[in-house]
Amino acid sequence: LRRRGGERAPIHEALSLSAIAAIVVHGAALLGDGFLHPSVADITIPFVSSYKSAWTSIGIVAGWSTILLGLSYYARRMIGSTRWRKLHRFTALAWLLGLVHALGEGTDAGQLWFLAMVALVAIPALGLLVARLLGGGGGAARTAQQTAGAGPSFAARQGEAAVEVSSARIPARSGA
C-alpha cells in the first residue's frame, strides 16, 4: 500500500486487461451454453434476455462498465487526468455490480466453495477500500496540485517522461 502508483501501474494494467479478457471469454462461453441458448443480444444488451432478467442485466451493465472504464486508461490524456481519476472511481461500482451478478445469478452461488471464492476476492478488496478511505492508500487519490508538485521527481524515478495534462503531471509511456 505504501508504494507509489507508478510502481504498481504495470501490475494494475495487466490485471485490468485480464479482467476485460475474462469478461469477453465469459460472454463468448455463454453463447455455447446448451441450456440457455442465448443470442448475442441476450448477452450484450440489458433486459433483452428472459432468463433471470434483473441479474443478467446487472451482469451486462457490470461487464460493459468494467470494459469501458478499463479501456478509459488509454484515453486519459485526451480527457484529462482529473476527469479520468473521477471516472476511474466508478470501477469499484462496476466490480461490485459484477459480484452482485455472480451471487444472484450464478448456478453455484449457494455452494460453499463459491462463497469461499467470493470471500477470497471480496475481503481483500474491502480491506483495501477501508485503507484508502482511512488515508492509507492515497496513490491514485492525490490531488492534481500534489501530483503536479511531485511530477518531475516521480517521472525521473520511474525513468519516464512527464506529460502535462491540464495542471497535473502524469507519467507517460516511453516511446508513446
Res 144: pLDDT: 46
Res 7: pLDDT: 82
Interior/surface letters 112-127, b for 16+ CB within 10 angstroms, e for the rest: eeeeeeeeeeeeeeee
How many residues in the chain? Answer: 176
Q: What tens digit of pLDDT does each residue of 81-110 get?
A: 999 999 999 999 999 999 999 999 878 888
What single-letter DSSP state applies at residue 109? Answer: T
Res 5: pLDDT: 63
pTM for the full predicted model: 0.71
Q: What tens digit of pLDDT does each residue of 108-161 get?
A: 888 999 999 999 999 999 998 899 889 865 554 444 444 444 444 333 333 333
Res 58: pLDDT: 97
- How many C-beta neighbours within 10 Å does residue 169 have? 21
Res 55: pLDDT: 93
Q: What tens digit of pLDDT does each residue of 19-71 get?
A: 999 999 999 999 999 988 999 999 999 999 988 889 999 999 999 999 999 99
Res 50: pLDDT: 86
Question: Which ranges constitute the DSSP H helices of 45-172?
Answer: 53-71, 76-79, 81-88, 91-105, 112-133, 144-158
In the chain, where are the structural domains located?
5-109
Kindly list the distances between the CA atom of residue 83 and the CA atoms of 5, 33, 78, 141, in Å, as whole numbers in the listed order: 18, 40, 10, 12
What CA dihedral angle connects 48, 73, 94 and 29, to 10 degrees? 50
The yes-or-no verdict on residue 167 having pLDDT over 50 is no
Helix axes 91-105, 53-71, angle to 10 degrees: 150
**Cα 160–Cα 162–Cα 163 angle in degrees, nearest 5:** 130
